[in-house]
């Protein structure tokens, strides 16, 4: 598998580390009514068979966190973008 980093270009899989689902949103920790949302955010995953938006870190390159869209069945990489929006 090879990932095309927007900074560094196409690089080998072992330059990156994987974190997981990029679609989960961190709730507000000061809002006491977010208990369920926190369990969702930290522990529950859609884990789809098919396209999956996920976070990768280019640790052996530019150190950017990337949002990669990848098919979990074919391993085809459909899109790569910076996780930091507006970059």
Partner 1 sequence: MRYSIASLVANALTGNRNWKPVWREPEPKPAYDVVIVGGGGHGLATAHYLAKEHGITNVAVIDKSYLGSGNVGRNTTIVRSNYLLPENEPFYEWSMKLWEGLEQDLNYNTMVSQRGVLNVFHSDGQRDAFVRRGNAMLLHGADAQLLDREQVRTLVPFIDFDNARFPVRGGLLQPRGGTVRHDAVIWGYARSADTLGVDIIQNCAATGFRIENGRILGVETERGFIGAKTVALSVAGSSGRVAQMAGLRLPVESHALQAFVTEGIKPLLDTVITFGAGHFYCSQSDKGGLVFGGDIEGYNSYAQRGNLPAVEDVAEGGMALMPAIGRLRILRSWAGLLDMSMDGSPIMDHTPVEGLYFNGGWCYGGFKATPAAGWCFAHLIATGQPHPHATAYRFDRFGTGRVIDEKGVGAQPNLH
Partner 2 sequence: MAGRQTNRLRGHGLVDQGTTVSFRFDGQQLTGHPGDTLASALLANGIRLVGRSFKYHRPRGILTAGSEEPNALVELRQGARREPNTRATTIELYDGLEAASQNRWPSLKADLLSLNQLAAPLLGAGFYYKTFMWPAAFWEKLYEPMIRRAAGLGYPSKQADPDSYEKTNAFCDVLVIGAGPAGLSAALAAAKAGARVILCDEDFALGGRLLSERGDVDGESGAPGRRPRRPNSSPPDCRILRRTTVFGAYDGGVYAAVERVSDHLPVPPEHAPRQRLWRIVAKQAIVCAGAFERPIVFGDNDRPGVMLAGAVRTYVNRFGVAPGQNAVIFADNDAALRTATDLADAGLTVQAIVDPRPQGSAAAEQVAAGTGALYLRGVIEKVRGAHGVRVVGVRDNQGGTRTIKCDLLAISGGWNPALNLTTHLGGKPRWDDSRACLVPGDLPAGMRVAGAAVGEVSTEACLASGEAAGAGAARDCGFSPSAPSRPAPDRQIAPATPVWQVETGRGKAFVDSQNDVAVSDVKLAAREGFRVPDHVKRYTTLGMATDQGKTSNLNGAAILAEATGRYLGAVGSTTFRPPYTPVSIGALAGHHRGTDFRPTRLTPSHRWAEEQGAVFVEVGMWMRALMFPRPEESAQETVNREVANTRAHVGVCDVSTLGKIDVQGTDAAAFLDKVYINGFSKLAVGKARYGLMLREDGFAMDDGTTARLAEDHFYMTTTTANAVRVSQHLEFCQEVLWPELDVQTVSATEQWAQYAVAGPNARAVIAALLDSGQDISNDAFPYMACGTFKICGGVPARLFRLSFSGELAYEIGVPARYGDGLIRAIMDAGAAHGIAPYGTEALGVMRIEKGHAAGPELNGQTTAHDLGLGRMMSKKKDFVGRFLGEREALNEPARAALVGLKPLDPKVRVSAGAHLVPKGADAVAANDQGYVTSQAYSPELKSFVALAMLSNGPARHGEVLKVCDPLRGSETLAEVCSPHFVDPDGERLRV
Examine residue 33 and tell whether it contacts partner 2 (CB under 8 A). Answer: no
Q: Smallest distance from the beta carbon of 11 to partner 2, in angstroms? A: 10
Q: How far is the CB of 52 from partner 2 (least distance, A)?
A: 14
Task: Between 37 and 62, name the residue whose CB sits nearer to partner 1.
Answer: 37
DSSP 62: T
Per-residue tokens: 12: 């080998």
What is the Cα–Cα distance from 43 to 19, expressed in whole angstroms? Answer: 13
Asked if 67 and 23 touch (Cβ cutoff 8 Å), the reply is no
The residue count for the chain: 87
Residues that bind partner 2 (CB under 8 A): 1-2, 12-13, 17, 19, 26-30, 34-35, 38-39, 41-43, 55, 57, 59, 63-65, 74-77, 82-86
């Amino acid at each position: 598998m090879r990932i095309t980093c927007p900074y560094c270009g196409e690089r080998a899989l072992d330059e990156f580390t994987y974190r997981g689902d990029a679609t989960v949103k961190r709730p507000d920790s000061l809002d006491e009514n977010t208990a369920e949302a926190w369990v969702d955010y930290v522990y529950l995953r859609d884990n789809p068979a098919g396209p999956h938006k996920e976070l990768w870190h280019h640790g052996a390159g530019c150190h950017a966190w990337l949002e990669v869209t990848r098919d979990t069945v074919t391993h085809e990489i459909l899109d790569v973008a910076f996780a930091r929006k507006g970059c």
